[in-house]
Structure 1
Amino acid sequence: MSNVFIFFIVLWCIIFISLLAIGGFFMFRKFLKRMPKDDGMSELDWQDYYIRKALPLWNNDARNLLNELVSPVPDLFRDVAKEKIGGRISKIAIEEHASTIELDHIMRGYIIATPKRDHKFMKKKLTELNIDYTPYLKLFELADDEKNKFSIFDHSEEISKAKTTHTQ
């Protein structure tokens, strides 16, 4: 009987330490995103700035499309994904002095802010919604890559080039 009890205690300790490590990992990532960069603002500060500044540009159709695009993301992470993608879309629209958020802004921001490991699911969702993503294939290379970590608020020149190529 005591061996079974010791086994459960050891098993519980392993599970508890594993859960603490996983939680600590995600907390540390969030902490790093809150660290100010050279300009004095963090990645999350810039994200919040662009979302607040572009809030009047978002119409109901754009909001509904964003909600639909992030629907495959698990509930636990959906708000974070929505804010990250919304921040990137907002930045693109603001830089282009857009009067409203259009499908083109949403597509470019959505592709760039989505991690490469999720592109298969993203393409599946876009196909379900009958949205043609082939004009944006070059942007998939700029997408958030864990191996080559960069700010989703960089790459303005590449996005402008891709837009120019897309409109021609």
Structure 2
Amino acid sequence: MPATCRIVAVSPGSALLAPAAALFDDYRVHYGHPADPDGTVAWLARQLTGAFRMFVALRDTPAGQPLGLISVVELPASLRLGTFWSVRDLYVAAAHRRGGVARALLGHAVAGARAAGALRVSLQTEPGNTSAQALYAAAGFRPVPDLDLLSLPLTTGL
């Protein structure tokens, strides 16, 4: 991780919610969704009250601008009577890529899952996202053989 940043949890009432939401909205726009700053803040505030967690990498300056973010969800691992963490989102602002921020965020999430007693950390990414795939492989993530991801769209536009 760059020497000038730290990783901090985001909570609904914290001063970090607005800057984290702005970066999260940039992430959404990056994937082709229209910007919705107010909707993003409201959505994050609702999600951060349950099993959904978000962490941001910040510069060690008074302004503390987020460099990147990771979100995870803790889910039941039913057959093993435990839990696992699912990485839902990992995003680094374009100006801060290739500097170890994503690796640090991913490492923070894995360490948090391990400390919480989770059985595994899972994630998914697009087949063409080779830079993310390389990061995940370097961190020890492996494809799950004989497993297909299926989805049932309940609204249009998914």
TM-score for the superposition, normalised by structure 2: 0.31
TM-score for the superposition, normalised by structure 1: 0.30
Q: Judging by fraction of residues, say which structure has more helix.
A: 1
Q: If you compute each CA radius of gyration, which structure gives the higher value, 1 or 2?
A: 1
Q: Judging by fraction of residues, say which structure has more strand.
A: 2
